[in-house]
Structure 1
Amino acid sequence: MSLTRRDFARTSAITGAGIALAGSAGVLATAPNALASTETDTAHGDAAAAHGHGLPGVGYGPLKPDPKGILALPAGFSYQIITYSGKTRLESGEFTPSNHDGTSTFEGPRGTTLLVNNHELAGPRANWTYPVPLTEGLVYDPAAAGGCTVVEVRRDKVAEWVGIAGTATNCAGGSTPWGTWLTCEETEDKAGQNGMTKDHGYVFEVDPLDHRANRAPKPIKALGRYAHEAVVVDPKRGHLFLTEDAAGPNGLLYRWTPPTGFHHGRGRLRTLAADAGVLQAFKCFDSGGRFVDDL
């Protein structure tokens, strides 16, 4: 394959399904009506949307059917599959796990790109044909099927390995300013429930560059135990903002404030006590002043 880091990271969009989606900078800049609209377009678009039609004047043109039936793209775009559940293999020999979800890219050594993939696998391992392999030293709960893999993309080679295993329902997450990935468990299963041997519903930190930093996985309990969705870091104040994907009774938006004197960095969140900092749920109102109970 001929896929450079610049092509991969700077002029590409990456999906969580092991697909590299690319469109050249020239195509992005000259695509008809690319990200352009006028007040007239917007007015017409609102009317069109009300009647179930697409928004005119926005985007990169119509989708072209994919002969392989995998991913339809506008003219000038292409994709390349770099990992495929049940087909491609990890460096350790097992098949790539299934259910790709949240993902992020990081600059790797010697001009490579590192892609971290969540695998949203819920419940016990027996439920899945391709769970995340239980790699020695990287397992939190041996009963759980989920986790993360790390994919290294070079000009002529793709390599994939386990970043963390034994976690559950790894949905979204977020990259950190210091170059790690926070993977979020979208579940509230406790030990003894659904086949689990440990409590779940936590955030874990995965370092794509340092294998040793991921050994003996430890949940960041200070960020709460609930059905986590995503997380983002405020690089100036150090706050973490977290979303919850829950329906019983509802999902909330949270802010975690670090304790006084705490300094973020690689692996620092793993050192926190379970009650470190302050975790708060937002109380939100709409433009009419009405309380919004489900975010």
Structure 2
Amino acid sequence: MRGVGRRNFLRATVVGAGATAFAGGLWQSAFAGPAQPGAGPYGPLGSVDANGLRLPQGFSSRVVARSMKKVADTGYVWHAAPDGGACFPDGDGWIYVSNSEVPLVGGASAVRFAADGTITGAYRTLNMTQINCAGGATPWGTWLSCEEYDYGCVYETDPYGKNAAKKRPALGRFKHEAAACDPVRKAVYLTEDRSDGCFYRFLPQVWGDLSAGELQVLVGSGPGKVGWEKVPQPERWITPTRDQVAGAMRFTGGEGCYYSEDVCYFTTKGDNRVWSYDAVNEVLGIAYDDDLVANGAATLKGVDNITGTSGGDLYIAEDGDDMQINLITPDGVVAPFVQVDGHPDSEITGPAFSPDGSRLYFSSQRGASGVILGTGGVTYEVSGPFRA
């Protein structure tokens, strides 16, 4: 995944707080409120293409994989219910990793691409886990696959398919959704998909080794200055992790998580918000809230997985609504980028850019059928003139 440049940092409002400086001293140039609908940098969406996508002019799509069908000429059968994903460099090419959000077999798979985009392989990277939802890439080149149930765990997997996956219970046993790594503070941020869930960070004893460390939970009363406290029993508990610390801040359904240059963005589906955590000043802000849209109708609802580009744009996938990926520009404009047609009972999952930023991958988890354990899941690639 590519980072958001500091000079293009998405300006985010701290609702109800004073003018606390954000990372990089950019608070002074922040716009007056959370992002608002407007004209996107690529123009309006066009008509539906041959793959069922609506895209701006100049962009094209292809289907990379379909659930329970072989990936290209690889002989590998793609998993059901594709969910969170990420891209990793692989010589002149790259790899896209995707979770499977199904019970009992769960796990994750990968597709390998050559420099010209040709699919050269596909394979399994994690087996026999439960409801693997989202996750996150690490700076040392592994994929954190998160189990989404109340005693779920994080598994560290090898996207290159060479090393066995490792269970990482020190990151807590709870209903994991997504993860994002902060190499400056040597922390892994974690979201929890519950209506009364929390936002966590894990501080490993040794950076790059997730076998031991301290799990902490965000404490505070709302947007503004916040702090962290240790979770006493992150692995084996009678009292769930979210209830072990008084003052732990609650979030209504934690979803995607994305870090770049001192800021961690995460989404909550219950209130359709994109949050921004300024890790330098420990200040929590709101970058988008559909209830705070002042100009026109909200185009982004059902907020879910999130990623970003080096140009400063955030891309947020929708769970349901009208099946779009919306982008938020550094100037605070929200606009649709892609829409999946004819999948009313699905959700968009796993947005991730190729290492050079020229291709965007994502899935329609249940496809046109809307059946999570069926053959409906579709994984797409979009190519075009993405801005740097």
TM range, smaller chain: 0.5 to 0.7
Q: Indicate the residue corresponding to 2:251 in structure 1.
A: 294
Q: Quote the offset at 1:91 in angstroms.
A: 8.0
Q: Match for 2:83: what amino acid?
A: D
CA contact (8 A) 2:76 2:123 kept: no
Does the CA contact (< 8 Å) of 1:163 and 1:207 recur in 2?
A: yes
Distance (Å, rounded) in 1 between the aligned partners of 2:48 and 2:123: 30
Q: Which residue does 2:121 correspond to in 1?
A: 159
Name which of 246, 252, 267 aligns with 2:194. 246
Q: How does 1:100-119 map to 2 (within 5 A)?
A: 100-109=82-91, 111-119=92-100
**Residue pair 1:90, 1:161 contacting (<8 A) in 2 also:** no
Cα pair 1:185 1:229 within 8 Å, conserved: yes
- The corresponding residue for 1:220 is 168
Residues 284 and 293 in structure 1, CA contact (< 8 A), matched pair in contact too: no
Higher strand share: 2
1:153-204 Cα distance to aligned partner (Å, 9 max, x none): 113433110001111111111111111111111112xxxxxxxxxxx50001
Partners in 1 of 2:61 and 2:139 — Cα distance?
28
Partners of 1:91 and 1:160 within 8 A in 2: no
Partner amino acid, structure 2, of 1:213: N
Partner residue, 2:40: 58
Map of 2:101 onto structure 1: 120
Tell me, yes or no, if structure 1 residue 82 matches structure 2 residue 64: yes
Task: Report the secondary structure of 1:72's partner residue.
Answer: strand
Is 2:74–2:121's contact at 8 Å kept on the other side of the alignment? no
- Residue in structure 1 matching 2:183, options 235, 245, 248: 235
> Separation in 2 of the partners of 1:90 and 1:69?
16
Q: Deviations over 1:215-260 (max 9, x none)?
A: xx4310100011111111121232111111113xx1100111222x
Contact 1:90 1:96 in 2 (8 A): no
Whole-Å separation in 1 of the counterparts to 2:225 and 2:126: 44
Aligned CA distance change for structure 1 residues 83 and 258 (closer, same or farther; 3 Å): same
Question: Structure 1-normalised TM-score?
Answer: 0.60
What secondary structure sits across from 1:73 in the alignment?
strand
Among 165, 171, 179, the residue aligned to 2:141: 179
Equivalent-residue separation in structure 1 for 2:125 and 2:216 (angstroms): 30
Q: CA RMSD in A?
A: 2.9
User: Counterpart of 2:81?
Assistant: 99
Point out where structure 2 has 5 or more consecutive residues left out of the alignment. Answer: 3-30, 227-246, 253-388
TM-score by length of 2: 0.47
Retained in 2: the 8 A contact 1:256–1:280?
yes
The structure carrying a bigger helix percent of its residues is 1
Gaps of 5+ in 1: 1-8, 11-41, 50-54, 124-143, 189-199
Share of identical aligned residues, percent? 35
> What are the Cα deviations for residues 42-69 of structure 1, in whole angstroms up to 9, with x where unaligned?
99x99xx7xxxxx233342211122436
Q: C-alpha displacement at 1:112, in angstroms?
A: 1.7
Cα shift at 1:99: 1.2
Q: Which residue of 136, 148, 159 maps to 1:208?
A: 159
- Asked if the contact 1:82/1:158 (under 8 Å) is kept, the reply is no
- The aligned amino acid for 2:199 is L
- Alpha-carbon distance in structure 2 between the residues aligned to 1:294 and 1:173: 18
**How many pairs align?**
200
**Contact 2:112 2:120 (8 Å CA) reproduced:** yes
1:67–1:112 CA distance, 2 compared to 1 (3 A)? closer
Task: Give the one of 59, 67, 73 matched to 2:55.
Answer: 73
Q: SS of the residue aligned with 2:163?
A: helix
Cα distance change, pair 170–90 in 1 and its aligned pair in 2 (3 A): farther
**Cα contact 2:95–2:111 (8 A) shared by 1:** yes
